Structure 1
């Protein structure tokens, strides 16, 4: 079944069934499944694993839907998403969105690299989707303060066509022409945003 058809079907089904208000407490309880990789309170301590704290509600929900539908593939995520239903997804989105985002307390160890990353972000118009603060919105990811190693991985995956899911077309178009030095600078800049 074509991926677009799957997404259209999912979106249609979600529109038919009335959404219930998300239950943050239930989301916190279900998030126990996530702690091993994404860390306590959604702050990852694991290499190449994103922090989920402070991510926009809809972004979390859509990523879980993409994993569950098989549009995004990840060995660790597949057994998790098989255990969650639509209500769990709504609750997890609300829970992670309610948490304070990661705070990078360390001083930037390479301000010149951050300057290059800021110039690249402006030139690539990253703020047009991710907002001027890079806090994300709706179904668009928060980038500010995310793990640098994860940002590197995500940008490389988009560039190489390995990652799909929301914003794939936009991100693939943005990431494909990036050279490695630009990817490194962008990741460093975004990870060091306060």
Structure 2
């Protein structure tokens, strides 16, 4: 499955033009995203991720995966079907240029401590960096919506989420207990 996803990505990415992204065009196209992902990419909707400050390449890859059908989401499909390669490039650059949401105050530092231990035990920083800001095609986790992180980890654990880093994330998430997932999501959301 991972090889098929990478092959699909390799077929699409070389088509993306080498020109610089157009932030104004990305902002205009992002009007399609506001209803779910929120104004300025800061989601107010349960189980919908914030996109502000997310890595440019990560957003581009996810949009390509949705468009190719390797990552499935009924709400995203009609939107990505409207996007051309230049739109994807512009959206990635636009959302990456936005300031992420300020994390809420940590109301449970003991849970965050358990989450930090789970993150260290699973070596999350080896891909997502010590700051959990992500890099290139790896997602920013710091400050993401807590319930979305719980959902994403459960989806990886169950094999429900495919596309992109599914194999690596399934290996990481599968052994996590429900308590560890809750603690990890809490920790990351409050960074």
Deviates more, 1:6-15 or 1:122-131: 6-15
Q: Judging changes above 3 Å, is the alpha-carbon distance between structure 1 residues 6 and 119 closer, same or farther for their aligned structure 2 residues?
A: closer
Q: Encode CA deviations 1:91-115: one digit per residue, 9 max, x unaligned.
A: 00000000011111x3211110000
TM-score w.r.t. length of structure 2? 0.96
Q: Aligned-pair distance for 1:6?
A: 5.7
Q: Following the alignment from structure 1 to structure 2, what is the Cα–Cα distance between the partners of residues 59 and 18?
A: 17
Q: 1:94 is matched with which residue?
A: 93
Identify if the C-alpha distance between structure 1 residues 122 and 109 changes in structure 2 by more than 3 Å, giving closer, same or farther. Answer: same
Quick check: 1:172 aligned with 2:162? no
How do residues 48-67 of structure 1 correspond to structure 2 at under 5 angstroms?
A: 48-67=47-66
Which residues of structure 2 form unaligned runs of 5+?
none
Task: State the distance in 2 between where 1:16 and 1:87 align.
Answer: 10
Match of 2:108 in 1: 110
Structure 2 contact 16–86 (Cα < 8 Å) conserved: no
**Aligned-partner SS, 1:80:** helix
Matched, 1:35 2:34: yes
Q: Would you say the 8 A contact 1:3–1:71 is kept in 2?
A: no
5+ residue gaps, structure 1, are none
Calculate the TM-score normalised by the size of structure 1: 0.94
CA–CA distance in structure 2, aligned partners of residues 107 and 5 of structure 1: 42
The whole-number CA distance in structure 2 between the counterparts of 1:6 and 1:65 is: 10
Name the residue aligned to 1:73. Answer: 72
